[in-house]
Chain A
Amino acid sequence: MSIKFEVNGKAVAVEVEPRLTLADCLRHELHLTGTHVGCEHGVCGACTVLVDGAAVRSCLMLAVQAEGAKVVTVEGLSNDADLTPLQKSFRKHHALQCGFCTPGMITTAHALLSEEPDCDAARVRAVLSGNLCRCTGYISIVAAVLDARAAYRHKNPA
């Protein structure tokens, strides 16, 4: 099937099998390998991307379901010049080790902070509990997300 959608602000058209997941489409058709596949059953959250602003597990969504959608991956939340405030905070707090869960953590946290820049630690933990990390023990990730709230308050005045 031929589908069209937007990825990181650019229009894309791809020919896909109906059974192809959005995660595999992003990784192997569009070569956006920042989105990682950890479990293919929606538990680990490594493949989280933003679809029309909402954090979505791209392993549980078919590529054809993205028809007409605006998809943002970790690459779309990055720039060459400098780390974003959220990325800087992750680095400062040592909120990543092997880096495999990190794109999913960044996209999930970005979606949360964009909606709720005043969320508290319990809320951050509840939302991130859908993303598995085997390295950090999460404490530094929660600290990094909390520390990045200020940047989102500034960016999205309520």
Chain B
Amino acid sequence: MRTVNSFIGSPIERLEDLRFLRGRGQYVDDLTRAGMLHAAILRSSVAHGRIRRIDAGAARALPGVHGMITAKDLGLPVPRVPMRLQPLPDFVRFGQPVMAETKVRYVGEALALVLAQSPAVAEDALALIEVDIEPLPAVGDSRSSATDRSLLFEEAGTNRVITFRATRGDAAAAFQDAPYVRRETLRTARHMALPLEPRGLLAEWDAARGKLTVSGGAKVLFFNRRTLAKEMGLPESAVEYVENDVGGGFGARGEFYPEDYLIPFGARLTGRPVKWTEDRREQLMCLNHAREAECEVEIACTRDGTVLGLRGHVQVDVGAYMRTNGAVGPRNIAQFMSGPYRIPHIDIEVALQLSNKTPVGTYRGPGRFETDFFRERLLDMVARDLRLDRVEFRRRNLVARQELPYRIATIRPYDKEEELDSGDYHATLERCLAEIGWAEKAKLAGQLIDGRYHGVAVGCFIEGGAAGPKESARMVLEPDGTYSVYVGSSAVGQGLETAFAQIAADALEVSMDRIRGVFHGSTSYVSDGYGAFHSRSVVMGGSAMLAAAENLRAEIRAAAAARLDCEPGQIEIVDGRTAVGPDGKSLDLASLAGASLSAEGAFLNTKHTYTYGAHAAHVSVDPKLGHVELIDYVIVEDCGRAINPLTLHGQAIGAAVQGLGGAIMEHLRYDEEGQLLTGSLADYLIPTASDFPNIRAVVLQDHPSPINPLGAKGAGEGGIIAVGGVIANAVANALGSLGVEPRQLPLTPSYIWELVQESVIRNQGSGIENPRNRADP
């Protein structure tokens, strides 16, 4: 029986679940090695200061301590954490040393590494290290950063890393003649990905073979191998990065962090395996932060609701250093502020400002979550000003199907043209309105029911995916007639093994149980790999697998033709199991496997896919407590082609709940001295099972991507991107009678309560009733 195209598109239960549900997953901290040492890292408790002295003598002498490493042991200058994405020469001077050299610039920065016989002894030793740091004034936010009164890098003379500028058309002219302009200042707070599994690394140095093996890699193992090999003066072939099960990534995990150098260095120094497992406090201090931005933005429109232009200045607090992918979020804020809308004239500047806080990097929907909040908030304010229907206003300005591909703003200094690829943005908006029952729900707007004001909102988004340049895959016909699949993509908990087995089975025309395994991530599997970021795995890795399958089938035909004495083109492969020649003679493919039949395939890409859609929310707000209850939430997205609708649906819901955390709860707070105040999960609140029970997602596949053979668009971030804007607009809609306009995230109870109180004071004597009186039962 031929099994063509029967797995792609099916809601297949995941293969990974069989081990995870039994507690048989293998995460990096589950690994143990004979003679293994445990690492602990002394971290700066001072946000900004000059290092006077580090005395590790007592710690070194503690029984059970086998190694103690400070910056001077690493060799000066200390290696820097590289920029992986969007590197520019301007970033180099703000690079992070893997261990603080002369200054500390954020709480959590590494000062010393201890290697000991157990994690407990390593931590005991940390307590014995004496550190003397001369404190300097801490730069707490991008406003004080911009004054340059206290400089993180004195030699640079500025705290401003760079200013990006996204432009399209002629914004100055558009604003000059515009009949209506509104200006707003909007803010998003600092939050983070917070994968549930803390990071970990296990490094092993084989002195005899000169080989370094690093387990615990994730996301971008090939890049990290390149980086580590270079910094350690080893050939790339002498370094192997191993991917284990990974407990969530969301953009933050797997980048090259300081520990990615320090732990292998410890292993090479001691000649013993070294394991490090991050604790939660370390994660909150050290894993990339994200999202903190302040936007002064202006929108120009005609009075009947055609958007003419968007311009503004954004300041992004990038923390203490530029590292790995820290430029992506700020870049996206600038380039994607127009989202799926037709905005002919754009001029957005985004300044990257250093502060004495944890460096930033990407977190699911980087920059897009922030910029969608800015844009969608602004659209609802404009609609209210101009007395336009919010939905009609959006319909009027959404890019139409026939306008695609649609060029969006160009960003400098990168200067790469970018266009929205394909789809029907109006269709997802209409579907979203239908799903939530907009016509009925809209009647609830501003109504006070049982002491809570009800509000609804809808917003539209785009999600970029499929970053190039390349992905590689290899397929092998095994002696038992099964197939093994090797791919350069990485699994970070998103269900890649199942989706890829589905693609491989369809490509090879076999049933899924004939796919012996999908081996991913580790650097030994394919010659070159790029990993998992920018919603790229299915498009890039999946398309590479199609190419590998085609090449393998060609190899099989050639090998079978030699045996059956015919031309390869005359061979038919039946059920991935048998080769049949022109005269009906056949042979079992397993008998060819001895010839070690395997083939690589690659997919190269320079364009991006754009999944798109709309979110709608119905909330109720308690004006006395400031609490936002989510009554209903709908996500509609079109991702071109869903490989596994079950897991994609799970991605949409899970992303939305992360977004709700960012919209309502999550905030990494610092005090004036740069101390992180939210250093535990009791302080940094993320959603729990009882917070947001009502969320629905509809995944459509009406408009396949024209730029890859699967027709798929990168997906998995669309669920988070629109949440901040939609929730804030729903709250504004609920509290419209009070004139409350949220201008920042998160919408914590205290912030909403303050807005309500301000409106009470503002409205006193204006004839508007105090909601505190009205809300009483």
Chain A interface, >50% SS class: loop
Question: A92-B13, A94-B650, A100-B197 are known contacts. Are A129 and B23 too (CB-CB below 8 A)?
Answer: no
> B279-320: contact bitstring with A at CB < 8 Å (1 yes, 0 no)?
110000000000000000000000000000000000000000
Residues of B within 8 A of A94 (CB): 13-14, 646-647, 649-650
Question: A33-B23, A35-B23, A134-B658 are known contacts. Are A140 and B653 too (CB-CB below 8 A)?
Answer: yes
Bound-complex Cα distance A106 to B689 (A): 14
Task: Return B254 CB to nearest CB of chain A, in Å.
Answer: 12
Bound-complex Cα distance A96 to B494 (A): 9
B residues engaging A (CB < 8 A)? 13-14, 16-27, 29-30, 32, 120, 193-198, 245-248, 250, 279-280, 492-495, 646-647, 649-651, 653-658, 680-682, 686-693, 695
> A81-98: contact bitstring with B at CB < 8 Å (1 yes, 0 no)?
001000100111010111
Residues of B within 8 A of A78 (CB): 21-24
Q: Across the interface, do A102 and B650 meet the contact criterion of CB distance under 8 Å?
A: no
Residues of A within 8 A of B30 (CB): 27, 33
Instruction: Select from chain B the residue with minimum beta-carbon distance to A121.
Output: B693
A74 at the binding interface (Cβ < 8 Å): yes
A133 at the binding interface (Cβ < 8 Å): yes
Bound-complex Cα distance A47 to B196 (A): 12
Bound-complex Cα distance A139 to B633 (A): 12
Q: Across the interface, do B493 and A98 meet the contact criterion of CB distance under 8 Å?
A: yes
Residues of A within 8 A of B647 (CB): 94, 97
Bound-complex Cα distance A131 to B656 (A): 18
Q: Across the interface, do A129 and B680 meet the contact criterion of CB distance under 8 Å?
A: no
Residues of B within 8 A of A35 (CB): 23
Residues of B within 8 A of A36 (CB): 27, 197, 247
A37 at the binding interface (Cβ < 8 Å): yes
Q: Across the interface, do B653 and A43 meet the contact criterion of CB distance under 8 Å?
A: no
Set B26, B196, B687: member contacting A44, Cβ < 8 A: B196
Question: A100-B27, A101-B196, A106-B21 are known contacts. Are A137 and B653 too (CB-CB below 8 A)?
Answer: yes
Q: Across the interface, do A133 and B279 meet the contact criterion of CB distance under 8 Å?
A: no
Q: Across the interface, do A74 and B197 meet the contact criterion of CB distance under 8 Å?
A: no
A5 at the binding interface (Cβ < 8 Å): no
Classify chain A: how many residues form its interface, as a range. Answer: 35 or more
A34 at the binding interface (Cβ < 8 Å): yes
Q: Across the interface, do A38 and B682 meet the contact criterion of CB distance under 8 Å?
A: no
Q: Across the interface, do A91 and B693 meet the contact criterion of CB distance under 8 Å?
A: no
Question: A39-B280, A43-B680, A134-B194 are known contacts. Are A34 and B688 too (CB-CB below 8 A)?
Answer: no
Bound-complex Cα distance A36 to B335 (A): 40
Question: A43-B681, A44-B681 are known contacts. Are A91 and B14 too (CB-CB below 8 A)?
Answer: yes
Q: Across the interface, do A132 and B681 meet the contact criterion of CB distance under 8 Å?
A: yes
Task: Return A155 CB to nearest CB of chain B, in Å.
Answer: 18
Q: Which of A128, A132, A137 has the most CB of B within 10 A?
A: A137
Question: A74-B22, A134-B196 are known contacts. Are A125 and B689 too (CB-CB below 8 A)?
Answer: yes
Q: Across the interface, do A125 and B690 meet the contact criterion of CB distance under 8 Å?
A: yes
Instruction: Select from chain B the residue with minimum beta-carbon distance to A46.
Output: B196
| Subset of 30 A-B contacts with CB under 8 Å | A28-B32, A34-B25, A36-B27, A36-B197, A38-B196, A38-B198, A41-B682, A44-B280, A75-B22, A78-B24, A83-B21, A83-B22, A87-B22, A91-B18, A94-B13, A94-B14, A96-B20, A97-B650, A99-B16, A100-B248, A124-B689, A125-B689, A129-B689, A134-B194, A134-B658, A137-B653, A137-B695, A138-B688, A139-B695, A140-B653
Q: Across the interface, do A139 and B681 meet the contact criterion of CB distance under 8 Å?
A: no
**Quick one: which of A109-158 are within 8 Å of B by CB?**
121, 124-126, 128-142
A19 at the binding interface (Cβ < 8 Å): yes
Residues of A within 8 A of B245 (CB): 98-99
Task: Return B125 CB to nearest CB of chain A, in Å.
Answer: 15
> A5-48: contact bitstring with B at CB < 8 Å (1 yes, 0 no)?
00000000000010110000001100111111111110110100
Q: Across the interface, do B653 and A136 meet the contact criterion of CB distance under 8 Å?
A: yes
Residues of B within 8 A of A140 (CB): 650, 653
Instruction: Select from chain B the residue with minimum beta-carbon distance to A97.
Output: B493
Chain B interface, >50% SS class: loop
Question: A132-B681, A135-B654, A139-B653 are known contacts. Are A98 and B693 too (CB-CB below 8 A)?
Answer: no
Bound-complex Cα distance A133 to B650 (A): 13
Residues of A within 8 A of B18 (CB): 83, 91
A73 at the binding interface (Cβ < 8 Å): yes
Residues of B within 8 A of A131 (CB): 688-689
Q: Across the interface, do A142 and B693 meet the contact criterion of CB distance under 8 Å?
A: yes
Residues of A within 8 A of B17 (CB): 87, 90-91, 96, 99
Q: Across the interface, do A98 and B197 meet the contact criterion of CB distance under 8 Å?
A: yes
Bound-complex Cα distance A124 to B279 (A): 29
Task: Return B223 CB to nearest CB of chain A, in Å.
Answer: 21
Q: Across the interface, do A103 and B196 meet the contact criterion of CB distance under 8 Å?
A: no
Bound-complex Cα distance A87 to B18 (A): 9
Residues of A within 8 A of B196 (CB): 38, 44, 46, 98, 100-101, 132-135
Instruction: Select from chain B the residue with minimum beta-carbon distance to A107.
Output: B23
Task: Return B377 CB to nearest CB of chain A, in Å.
Answer: 24
Bound-complex Cα distance A101 to B245 (A): 13
Question: A46-B196, A132-B196 are known contacts. Are A34 and B24 too (CB-CB below 8 A)?
Answer: yes
Q: Which of A17, A33, A44, A128 has the most CB of B within 10 A?
A: A33
Question: A38-B197, A43-B681, A128-B689 are known contacts. Are A97 and B494 too (CB-CB below 8 A)?
Answer: yes
Residues of B within 8 A of A137 (CB): 653-658, 687, 692, 695
Q: Across the interface, do A136 and B650 meet the contact criterion of CB distance under 8 Å?
A: yes
Q: Which of A33, A91, A97, A131 has the most CB of B within 10 A?
A: A97
